[in-house]
Structure 1
Amino acid sequence: MSIDHASRTSKIVGTVWGLLVLNTLGSAGAKTIIPLPRSLIQMVTMGALVAAFALALAVNLRLRIRPGACLFLLTLLLVPSVISSADLESGFGALFRCARLALFVGTLWLLSRWWDGSLTFARYHIRMYFAVLGSVAAGLVVSPGAAMPELYGGRLVGALWPLTPPQIGQYAAVIIGLTVLLLLGRRTDKASAAVVIVPSLVLLALTHTRTATLGLFIGLALAIGSLILTSAAARRFFAWAVLCAAVAAVAFASALQAWFLRGQSKENFSNLTGRAKVWDALLAAPRSASEKLFGVGLGDKSFGGLPIDNSWLAVYHEQGLIGVTVVSAIILVLGGVALLRPPSLQRACAIFLISYCAIASYTEAGLGDASPYLLHLALAASLLAAPAAAAPPSTPELPRRHIPRWARRSEVP
């Protein structure tokens, strides 16, 4: 393969990954400066997914794939989704979401050819989500009132593209964690890392997203802990981080508590901003045996008109106990593979992504459908993939005039 062809293929693969990110941004969120019809946003996101699949197929016409447990389980997740959606209890939208999930998983299968345990897809991930956060920052500069509306309690939202505070917090936390790990592994320089980390931290703070903040710190602690025995930089960073956290906890205790509570009462905080009431109602609702096994079909992750905001309960509601089992297997398999791998930067990045998704699953939905969380887990699978075996160099055939006479005599006429 020529260098130009390899470079062109790499750009196409990066574009496909970026289109998958665009597809998972969603169509529901805050009011934007320029009102965008939801149908237009859905057309853009679905068009991005179709384009991603078409490009991935065009660059992988021979359908070369790298089978893996994660992709197999994601494909298996389609079974309860289709079975529960086929009776149209959740409307035709359920079948549409099944088709979207199938196209999403199919695109990941086509991309698996380039999953070689390198950091290539991690860089794609950081660049695309940093571009998304750039649109959020631009909206904040253009219209601070629209970017931090009273409807969301003054928390940062997307003013150019409808993004909610939890979405922005998630994107910021993920790219901060990955960039910190790349910096510790000396795969990027301090200036480039600061360009990503500093503004992302500011945006994360403005969203007041507790789940993303906890996921970032706990995920980084686990990831860096996996590098402590082999990396002096990781040991130094961990020591300084613990020291700074202790000082901040003492010096800014009241400010941190106020930021964490977001002006809520202790009662409201204890029931997770009303989430617990929705969860109790969902679990208490009567269900048939079929609904318990396969769910009611892919929907908008809501119950009684209110968001479920819990991946496990959302999967149970829409894909049943079988769906919960499959999603659990995905997390356990990826976590088990990460623990069995020798210490490396790729392993640390995978541990961060897996632990972040596991923590966020308690207050965020998305593990059972095409979403950023499934994309994070797919990235973790690409980081844990074994490097592709290098093809042995072929020996060029010598012209006949260069073959010794004694060798020519042994030839069969």
Structure 2
Amino acid sequence: MGGGHTPKTVGTIWGLLVLNTLGSAGAKTIVPLPRSLIQMVTMGALVAAFALALAVNLRLRIRASAYVFLLTLLLVTSVISSAHLESGFGALFRCTRLALFVGTLWLLSRWWDGSLTFVRHHIRMYFAVLGSVAAGLVASPGAALPDLYGGRLVGALWPLTPPQIGQYAAVITGLTVLLVLGRRTDRAGAAVVIVPSLVLLALTHTRTATLGLFLGLALAIGSLLLTSAAARRFFTWAVVCATVAAVGFASVLQAWFLRGQSKENFSSLTGRAKVWDALLAAPRTTGEKWFGVGLGDKSFGGLPIDNSWLAVYNEQGLVGVTLVAAIVIVLGGVALLRPPSLQRACAIFLISYCAIASYTEAGLGDASPYLLHLALAAALLATPAAAAPRATPDPPRRHIPRWARRTEVP
């Protein structure tokens, strides 16, 4: 199992999973796209991903993975909570989607061997998504920077929200920086990814993604300080630049961070806290408390929850929260126990980014980019499969001349 050559089809499957998790809700696009059409494309991508994964792994060879096992338990919890149809038949549809997503990860686990193969797939696919965002910005700046979102960057070709774009830009920027530090890519090629991604991140004004990028990189690079001189130099320069920026551009950074909001609005996390308080204060039956009301659209009272833990509590109950916490703790614990390496640093970045983003973004309880980021972390933390031992050949028989052969005297 695992190891050896990874089929090119695996990259295609990963790309289809990325397409599926883009979602169908967002800003108005230049060419109006019916939501039913977008859902057909995203769901079709997931079905195609599962079919291709099955085709390249017909023998159903999988690797033991605590991450995918816990996701499977979360799927069971989701089915139990959705069976009552409190969230409508859409809940069962979302359970089917999650089942295909988890099944595809099980089939791909055969090639999870701790290599950087899936990191490169991840960067390529999300960079392609950001390419579509940049193309929309060039084609129609007004549609890409609408007043409805306060002038923040959105997807004008595909309906993507500012937090989504910020998330994709931050994740591939962090991974590419780590590849440069590990000398797995050249600086010129890395700049092609990092510079446009940072520009798009700045245009989204997404605070969560920005904090996740810097804090995640700090933890990841910190894990390399003892073994990498390049990491030590980068960390030193980063601290110097951050200090200069904080002193010289404090007012500019504060204005960007506040996004024109009042301090009261900022302190309530743009109104999120009101939704959270209402969710926690709502009466619940014992079953709803433990298993939730079923998979929904991550909203409460018609307003987005924007917190992974509360969204999971609402939809999958305390059992779901426990499983999601176990996922983060297990991945983080395994990462801390691994010896220092580039793969470990990338995994630490992804885990810490998802943990930070979970406070103001939903997605850890359903098929989403966050679960895909954590799947990549699990692939990086997997140990290489043991190669089958080769049979030791018999030593060659040496030819002995007949005259030198020893004969027995009868």
Q: TM-score range by the shorter chain?
A: over 0.9
Over the aligned positions, Cα root-mean-square deviation in angstroms equals: 1.6
1:49 maps to which residue? 46
Q: Distance in 2 between matches of 1:394 and 1:311?
A: 51
Residue type of the partner of 2:244?
Answer: V
Residue type of the partner of 1:297?
Answer: G
Aligned residues: 398
Q: Distance in 1 between matches of 2:185 and 2:366?
A: 33
Shift of 1:392: 2.5
Choose which of 2, 15, 18 in structure 2 pairs with 1:18: 15
| SS of residue paired to 1:45 | helix
Choose which of 68, 77, 80 in structure 2 pairs with 1:71: 68
User: What does residue range 228-377 of structure 1 map to in structure 2 within 5 Å?
Assistant: 228-377=225-374
| SS of residue paired to 2:160 | coil
| SS of residue paired to 1:330 | helix
2:110 maps to which residue? 113
| SS of residue paired to 2:7 | helix
Residue type of the partner of 1:283?
Answer: L
Task: After superposition, give the CA deviation of every residue in 1:277-304 in whole Å (9 maximum; x if it has no partner).
Answer: 0000000000000000000000000000
Q: Distance in 1 between matches of 2:249 and 2:233?
A: 24
User: What does residue range 196-207 of structure 1 map to in structure 2 within 5 Å?
Assistant: 196-207=193-204
Contact 1:327/1:368 (8 A) holds in 2 = yes
Contact 1:115/1:382 (8 A) holds in 2 = yes
1:152 maps to which residue? 149
Contact 1:282/1:303 (8 A) holds in 2 = yes
Task: After superposition, give the CA deviation of every residue in 1:147-205 in whole Å (9 maximum; x if it has no partner).
Answer: 00000000000000000000000000000000000000000000010000000000000
1:137 and 2:159 are equivalent in the alignment: no
User: What does residue range 209-228 of structure 1 map to in structure 2 within 5 Å?
Assistant: 209-228=206-225
Task: After superposition, give the CA deviation of every residue in 1:214-239 in whole Å (9 maximum; x if it has no partner).
Answer: 00000000000000000000000000
Q: Distance in 2 between matches of 1:93 and 1:351?
A: 35
Q: Distance in 1 between matches of 2:107 and 2:399?
A: 50
Residue type of the partner of 1:119?
Answer: L
Q: Distance in 1 between matches of 2:361 and 2:69?
A: 24
Shift of 1:29: 0.2
Give the % identical residues: 87
Shift of 1:10: 2.3
Shift of 1:91: 0.5
Q: Give the gaps of 5 or more residues in structure 1.
A: 407-413
Shift of 1:37: 0.3
User: TM-score if structure 1 supplies the norm length?
Assistant: 0.94
Q: Distance in 2 between matches of 1:98 and 1:397?
A: 56
2:403 maps to which residue? none
Contact 1:80/1:295 (8 A) holds in 2 = no
Q: Distance in 2 between matches of 1:395 and 1:230?
A: 37
Q: After alignment, is 73-82 or 143-152 more displaced?
A: 73-82
Shift of 1:83: 0.7
Choose which of 163, 179, 198 in structure 1 pairs with 2:176: 179
Task: After superposition, give the CA deviation of every residue in 1:255-313 in whole Å (9 maximum; x if it has no partner).
Answer: 00000000000000000000000000000000000000000000000000000000000
User: TM-score if structure 2 supplies the norm length?
Assistant: 0.95
Contact 1:85/1:297 (8 A) holds in 2 = yes
1:409 maps to which residue? none
Q: Distance in 2 between matches of 1:206 and 1:10?
A: 37
1:128 maps to which residue? 125
Q: Distance in 2 between matches of 1:250 and 1:287?
A: 49
Shift of 1:386: 0.5
Moved over 3 A (4+): 393-398, 402-406
Q: Distance in 1 between matches of 2:182 and 2:281?
A: 48
Residue type of the partner of 1:225?
Answer: G
1:386 and 2:375 are equivalent in the alignment: no
Q: Distance in 2 between matches of 1:173 and 1:383?
A: 19
Choose which of 38, 44, 52 in structure 1 pairs with 2:35: 38
Shift of 1:118: 0.4
Contact 1:335/1:351 (8 A) holds in 2 = yes
Shift of 1:394: 4.5
Choose which of 68, 79, 83 in structure 2 pairs with 1:82: 79
Q: Give the gaps of 5 or more residues in structure 2.
A: 401-410
Shift of 1:397: 9.3
Q: Distance in 2 between matches of 1:196 and 1:270?
A: 34
Shift of 1:403: 7.0
1:194 and 2:191 are equivalent in the alignment: yes
Shift of 1:78: 1.1
Residue type of the partner of 2:171?
Answer: V
Q: Distance in 2 between matches of 1:13 and 1:47?
A: 17
Shift of 1:111: 0.2
User: What does residue range 396-411 of structure 1 map to in structure 2 within 5 Å?
Assistant: none
Contact 1:13/1:111 (8 A) holds in 2 = yes
Shift of 1:360: 0.1
Residue type of the partner of 2:130?
Answer: L
Residue type of the partner of 2:305?
Answer: I
Shift of 1:391: 2.2
| SS of residue paired to 1:161 | coil
Contact 1:116/1:386 (8 A) holds in 2 = yes
1:93 and 2:87 are equivalent in the alignment: no
